[in-house]
Structure 1
């Protein structure tokens, strides 16, 4: 009979107690979701124990405004990626158990408090259910059995922040991922049984550092797609500062900050040519020294470029525009050499020909611009 780590019994009825995943815990507002399944049949309870839609809806709310194309499907996962998925799941199971223990167990013999609407399990009920699920997990692992519940669990875990792996439905890696999660279940139940005996079993750290919104892998064989832009820029700066003057350093970082403001601080593998073109489109409208202009300096770079364009302000020179593109392009050339899965040549071919003004270069991007009467070069400044 299949088991599920989120199901527990209170008396004769079953309850679902799902710890809020690590990646959304800080913003979710509570540490878990708990509700009665209002049923007493274990098989029926197992079929109704999913909370994924609720958690995923919250993730989508967090991503509002982060518009990007779906991640490309992976045909297979590397052994390092599968191990990271396993460690993330092991952390989640033991962290969940730790939080249950922090809240305490219901003890009807030593409390006069009424039973809560969403009651805590007794220690004995929690122990018995964990023992049952441990036996079921070992049974499935030993026989290579894979039911729909563990497959659904695997699909959810792959979406967790810092993992974000979109695996093709027919991939042979699904069997490996599911087995890795089953192994994590067995390891977790062993640790939980030791905790039941009063032993100290620490929860292992989550294998991806989310403390500063980064996704830098902490394992030995890191997955480069987990490195976010800001972390890579920090590493690039540390290396290149050996040769940069203070003025050059400030210039490079100013344009990298502009790029990050436009494209966001994403894992490196998510950036593509569209992000490079978005920077160029803004630069084509942006006037020189815009941060010193009273009407623009308090705006975002996109807002400043749009307002300057509407106001007919002269954009920066072609020389400075190309310099900015070269500065940012230099980072991406470095990143391509230092990290796997970085798309090649993001800024190749984007420089503006010096014989064409920046204002004239903007016209292909907008129907509205094409419909305008062209300004004379003298009036454009």
Structure 2
């Protein structure tokens, strides 16, 4: 940004003016940023000078408001610590020592080596529910703890405290004030412990919750560590809920009986004698199925993905498969591979059919178990993920179990066989090809006919972006049917001359290159239309990646970055609609091949589709380049005139 001389806090980025102000040193650590900068939304200097004065006053007021807020929080915390510091430390210490007091009571618990994520979430929810029920009972009895256990001796005042003799009318007010202070300080301390990974203060709580269901959990397992973290988070939430009650607001929560019933139902059924629990309830705990010599599903998953990686499986595909399998594990738990049945597959299918896409981005759902999220989404009427996506998950698990049947004697059946949801539409209907009108709109856009600049590509001007990926990538997609990432990862040495024909070489020879399948490695002749538009000259001016201005996204793919621009491009030319994307170029290419008489098998070879059968095993399934050049020469997009883009000889 460029400072505007003579005007404090006024800067310019390009033609637009901005307000910029440094955060004062006394609040820099708590304010969350070192500098406040935002657009004044004007290109006029006089108007910017007027607006920056108003912005400066508002910013200084925000700084003062922040100072007052921080000061008030510090004062409240100091007062709370002075009031209840000793009882709180006893409360936290009590949680750490509970396990030593009830060893005998837990001797008959059924031992588990692991639990699913959804089961762990239920136990954390159980802890929060118990804390809120205890708090409710205490309030009903004048803030006197009625259940023995951690915290029962923590109250400084109760309704029958002898120190308040003669002041009975005020006893509850004293106790309420203490409850507020205790909830505030306990929450603060536990939040710090949660951030630091210190879970010792809730080990007793976690064991109590497990014992309530008649089970114990291996203290060396990853599941135990996860449970401690979840219970600690539940304790923090419980303190916030109690504080809400102190303000007259009732938090929403389920009863512990209901949660315990759901926990019992989630465990693998096996009749056992009922055991009394520490909460006084009678449950039928159900241990894991008898010990099997087969590896667990997670172990099989890792071997399956490792083998697939050796067959040129793209990292993105492997990551997606791992996520799908992990969702199944979250729902039903990690067991020996022979311990799964149709009921597990059916439960997964039912949950997926109710679960919305991008659950992790929804605040109301992301912290819920998979099953709870599906129920809540269905109750709220949220649209579920597409049938295609459901089938993709089910197909992934089918593939995993099919592989397991070939490699392990213990696996006799595939629980996911026949589970896929039937669709009325075919795969082609998932994406529309571009219409002739769409293509005319796109290739008459300012990017191709003249724009203001690379940055202002949608505004008409005199600049044609012949060195930009915005210009070339859609054209290459139109005349090759190649995938977006295949195009963006091309290097200068991937444009090769084979027997006098210039070709794209789709490969994965460099560290940042990858192909979807083995059949994706191929040669694609450069279409004559691209040569007329100047592709050879464009390549001659490059030395590394052809489209090196497109950076790799966090997922490791260049396509994830460019696809965002392409959506904006489609919108700018009024082509954007739900069933079109860059992938529509592949369908457009297929339609053109059919219309021009290109044989189906040659079309598949050009697009990197597997031919299937023995042709892929012998000779690599490759066509001679001369044959590909011959068929590519037939390709036309009828009615589309790109002569205005041609380079004048």
Q: For this structure pair, what is the TM-score category when the shorter chain's length is used for normalisation?
A: 0.3 to 0.5
* TM-score normalised by the chain length of structure 2: 0.23
